[in-house]
Amino acid sequence: MDEKSLHEVNQYNDVIFPVGLYEVTRDSIVPKGRGHLDLHWNEELQFTVVSSGTMVMQVDGKLYDLKQGDAIFINQRLLHVSRDLSEGGRYFSIDLPSRLLGFFSGSRMEKSYVFPYTSDYLFQTVVFQSGIEWQRGIVSHLKEIEKLLKEKRQGFEYRVAVILVTIWGEMLQYLKNDVRIPPKSYYRRQERMRAMLSFIHERYAETIQLADIAAHVGISVGECCRCFKQFIRESPNQYILHYRIMKAMDLLSDTDCTVSEVSFKCGFSDVSHFILYFKRHTGLTPGAYRELK
In which order are the strands placed within the sheet that holds 45-52? 29-30, 20-24, 90-96, 45-52, 71-74, 125-128
Name the percent of the chain lying above pLDDT 70. 96
The pTM of this model reads: 0.84
The pLDDT, as a whole number, for residue 224 is 95
pLDDT at 292 over 90: no
The pLDDT, as a whole number, for residue 41 is 87
Q: Which of 150-159, 186-195, 210-219 shows the lowest per-residue confidence on average (mean pLDDT)?
A: 186-195
78 neighbors 125 (Cβ within 8 angstroms): yes
pLDDT at 99 over 80: yes
Distances in whole angstroms, Cα of residue 6 to Cα of each of 40, 94, 170, 198, 233? 5, 19, 31, 7, 17
The pLDDT, as a whole number, for residue 186 is 81
pLDDT (tens digit per residue) in 5-53: 565 656 667 889 999 999 999 888 898 777 678 888 888 999 999 999 9
The pLDDT, as a whole number, for residue 123 is 85
The pLDDT, as a whole number, for residue 184 is 81
pLDDT (tens digit per residue) in 223-267: 999 999 988 999 999 999 999 999 999 999 999 999 999 999 999
Domains of the chain: 7-178 (2.60.120.280), 184-292 (1.10.10.60)
pLDDT (tens digit per residue) in 117-153: 998 778 889 999 988 999 999 999 999 999 999 999 9
pLDDT (mean) for 97-119: 94
pLDDT at 205 over 80: yes
Q: What are phi and psi of 268, to 5 degrees?
A: -95, 125
- As a whole number, the mean pLDDT across the chain is 91
